[in-house]
Amino acid sequence: MAEVSFKRDLNSKRTSYIDWDEYFMAIAFLSAKRSKDPCTQVGACIVNNDKRIVGIGYNGMPMRCDDDEFPWGKSSRNSLDTKYLYVCHAEINAVLNKNSSDVKDCTIYVALFPCNECAKVIIQSGIKTVIYMSDKNAHKVETIAAKKMFDAADIKYRQYIPKNQKIEINFSDINWNEMSQLPQTPTKQGD
Ligand SMILES: [Zn+2]
């Protein structure tokens, strides 16, 4: 049987790898998977000018506010029984979770265009660039207000268009076969 060759040149630099935007947006998406929100899982990743991640967050209840006790619903006769009054958005959590002294001049990667409340935090924290994936709430006043503030505060924002629709992480894919094809170092008996 003829062997189909997919072999890479193991002596040259790999050409198929994810670029920075893809990497940071994927981290925002991975972080979103931690969210317990039944409707919208959103993640955010803040990166400094050295391409170092300085903050990650996802939408969730504030610390010590039990996410089994607080409401996750969007509508109720009593607004106190909806999530809106309680949930911390991903952007706010990412800023507050920062592992650097500040996030001045940083870039924030977010799945969804920030709302007006997050826009205020983004501006006040010194973040200069917003890279978002979806603008599905563009018609909502929260998004319109956010853009108005970003424009006034000279915050750059741009949509990220993914090159790949999917990045797969397969824990069992650690190239064991390929590694076993590499020349083995002879081991002496008794080593
Ligand atoms: Zn928000």
Distance 119 CA to ligand 1 centre (A): 7
Distance 89 CA to ligand 1 centre (A): 5
pLDDT for the residue 20? 96
Tokens of 23: 């990497």
63-70 contact pairs (CB < 8 A, 24+): 67/36
- The region that residue 105 occupies, defined by phi over 0 for left and psi between -120 and 50 for alpha, beta otherwise, is left
pLDDT tens by residue, the chain, 191 residues: 455 555 667 888 888 888 999 999 999 999 999 999 999 999 999 999 999 999 999 999 999 999 999 999 999 999 999 999 999 999 999 999 999 999 999 999 999 999 999 999 999 999 999 999 999 999 999 999 999 999 999 999 999 999 888 998 888 877 666 655 555 555 455 45
Q: Which of 3, 22, 91, 178 is catalytic?
A: 91
| C-alpha pair distances (Å), 135 with each of 1, 77, 131, 189 | 51, 29, 11, 63
Distance 53 CA to ligand 1 centre (A): 20
Q: Is 91 a catalytic residue?
A: yes
